[in-house]
């Protein structure tokens, strides 16, 4: 007898607009409050206090244009946000400040979220879609110097990059980028040399989101169709399709794998959040709370494993926070 799916632990209301991106920052020990950052369509970034479940601060830095990516850079005092005003802003939030310290003008008019990777103490690499249609630019932060530009070969017709993930196998190895494109293919790029290592056609429709487990060298991608595609990376750095999973309703906006690599969550256009086991992609739960498309899902980074949370932001302007499979 399977239990009915759990209800959300709590629901955050008050963004006033569709929620497009979420990011937890709960790693710091007490007495620091665990915090959730959310970016909305009205251009505001809300900093939610997870103890009081209220907004602590609202950041307005993108000229009321939709914010579709928020990430912390080394702690919850430094925030990076990306908006539809074609800018990436770097915020300084320490000691109650709310100022934009720096910004990068990307000239990108799409929706591709940038990806961050810490390569050395205080040095970050950021992959973002650039002005030119098919290109991805890698910048080094905080210096904002361009490391390289990844251009697909002429005639490849990949379309826009839709989602990016920078990763490296371990500290010191070469950083690599996985990029999902509009034509449904995922390309593995070597950042240092600036060339493509492998390309795999995973979907017939644009790749909406992807996530990668560097330990197992396996990744998953979702698209606007009904299929989730799981692919793996072999020793020759070649991508291969491992498995596909058919969903009940088409359309995935976001996929994320929990940091302990045990489960993953998908945000669906059918208003539902689905949880799968990562090992074999066993369907575990379908969380049906929202009344409109779920735009993003995010797992928290709590040190205390029992407190781990999953948050989902939706077009219905609510953020649902769940505690699910936290005991394992």
Partner 1 sequence: VSFIPGGLDCSISFVSHVLGKVCVHGRQKEILGVLVPRLTDLTKSDCIWQRICWRLVECVPDRWMEAVVLGFVQRAPRADVLSRLLGNLVVKNKKAQFVMTQKILLLQYGHTTAVLQNLLGYLSLDSLRRTLLLRVLQELLETWGSSSAVKHSPPEQQLYISKAILICLSHLKEPEIESCRQELLTSMMEGVKCHLDSSLPQLRCLGMVVAESISSKINIEGPVLKFQYEEDDETRELKSLLVQTPPFCVVPSLPDDDKSEKADAALPLVPESNEKSHTAAPVMPDEESDAELDSDDDLIPYDMSEDKELKIKAPVYIRDCIEVLTGSGDVDKWEATVKALESLVRKNPAATREVSVELAKILLHLEEKTCVEGFVELRQRAQVAVLTMDPIPVGKYLTSQFYSVNYSLRQRMDILDVLVLAAQELSCPKFHGKTKHSGAQKPCIQLLPGGDSSKDWRRIVDERIKSKTRRFDTGQSHVELASGPNKFNSVAGHFFFPLIHHFDRPLTTFDLLGEDHLVLGRLVHTLAILMYLAVNTMAVTAMGKALLEFVWALRFHTDSYVRQGLLSCISSVLLSVPAEWILADMTEELLETQSWLGDVVEKDPDGDCRRLALQNLLLMENLKKKLEAVPS
Residues forming contacts to partner 1 in the complex (CB under 8 A) are 2-6, 155-157, 183, 185, 199-202, 232, 238, 240-244, 248-249, 262-263, 270-272, 277-280, 282-286, 288, 325, 328
- Minimum separation from the CB atom of position 255 to partner 1 (A): 17
**What distance in Å separates the CA atoms of residue 71 and residue 308, rounded to the nearest whole number?**
18
Q: Which is nearer to partner 1, 10 or 325 (CB)?
A: 325
From the number of C-beta atoms within 10 Å of its C-beta (0-12, 13-18, 19+), residue 324 rates as buried
Structure tokens at 112: 């591709």
- Minimum separation from the CB atom of position 276 to partner 1 (A): 10
**What distance in Å separates the CA atoms of residue 222 and residue 36, rounded to the nearest whole number?**
24
Q: Which is nearer to partner 1, 60 or 288 (CB)?
A: 288
Do residues 206 and 183 make contact, with C-beta atoms less than 8 angstroms apart?
A: yes
- Minimum separation from the CB atom of position 244 to partner 1 (A): 8
- Minimum separation from the CB atom of position 257 to partner 1 (A): 14
Q: Which is nearer to partner 1, 51 or 280 (CB)?
A: 280
Q: What is the longest distance spanned by two Cα atoms in the chain?
A: 57
- Minimum separation from the CB atom of position 154 to partner 1 (A): 11
Q: Which is nearer to partner 1, 9 or 244 (CB)?
A: 244
- Minimum separation from the CB atom of position 161 to partner 1 (A): 16
Q: Which is nearer to partner 1, 21 or 229 (CB)?
A: 229
Q: Which is nearer to partner 1, 18 or 45 (CB)?
A: 18
Bridging pattern class, strands 218-223 and 207-213:
antiparallel
Q: Is 295 left (phi over 0), alpha (psi -120 to 50) or beta?
A: alpha
């Amino acid at each position: 007898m399977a239990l009915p799916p759990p209800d959300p632990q709590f629901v955050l209301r008050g963004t006033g607009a569709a929620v497009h991106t979420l990011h937890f920052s709960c790693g710091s020990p007490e007495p620091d409050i665990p915090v959730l950052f959310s970016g909305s369509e009205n251009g505001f970034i809300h900093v939610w206090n997870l103890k009081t479940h209220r907004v602590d601060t609202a950041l307005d830095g993108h000229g009321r244009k939709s914010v579709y990516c928020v990430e912390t850079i080394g702690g919850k005092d430094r925030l990076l946000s990306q908006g539809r005003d074609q800018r990436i802003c770097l915020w300084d939030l320490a000691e109650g400040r709310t100022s934009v310290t720096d910004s990068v003008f990307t000239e990108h008019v799409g929706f591709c979220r940038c990806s961050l990777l810490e390569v050395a103490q205080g040095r970050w690499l950021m992959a973002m879609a650039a002005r030119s249609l098919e290109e991805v630019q890698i910048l080094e932060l905080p210096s904002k110097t361009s490391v390289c530009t990844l251009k697909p070969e002429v005639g490849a017709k990949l379309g826009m990059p839709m989602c990016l993930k920078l990763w490296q196998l371990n500290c010191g190895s070469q950083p690599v980028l996985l990029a999902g494109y509009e034509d449904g293919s995922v390309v593995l790029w070597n950042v240092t040399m600036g060339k493509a290592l492998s390309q795999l056609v995973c979907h017939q429709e644009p790749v909406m989101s992807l996530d990668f487990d560097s330990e197992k060298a396996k990744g998953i991608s979702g698209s606007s169709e009904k299929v989730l595609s799981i692919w793996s990376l072999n020793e020759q750095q070649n991508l291969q399709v491992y498995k596909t999973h058919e969903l009940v309703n088409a359309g995935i906006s976001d996929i994320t794998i929990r940091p302990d690599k045990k489960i993953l969550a998908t945000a669906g256009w059918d208003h539902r959040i689905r949880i799968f086991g990562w090992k074999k992609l066993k369907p575990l739960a379908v969380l049906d709370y929202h009344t409109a498309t779920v735009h993003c899902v995010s797992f928290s980074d709590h040190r205390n494993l029992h407190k781990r949370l999953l948050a989902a932001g939706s077009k219905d302007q609510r953020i649902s926070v769940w505690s699910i499979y936290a005991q394992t």
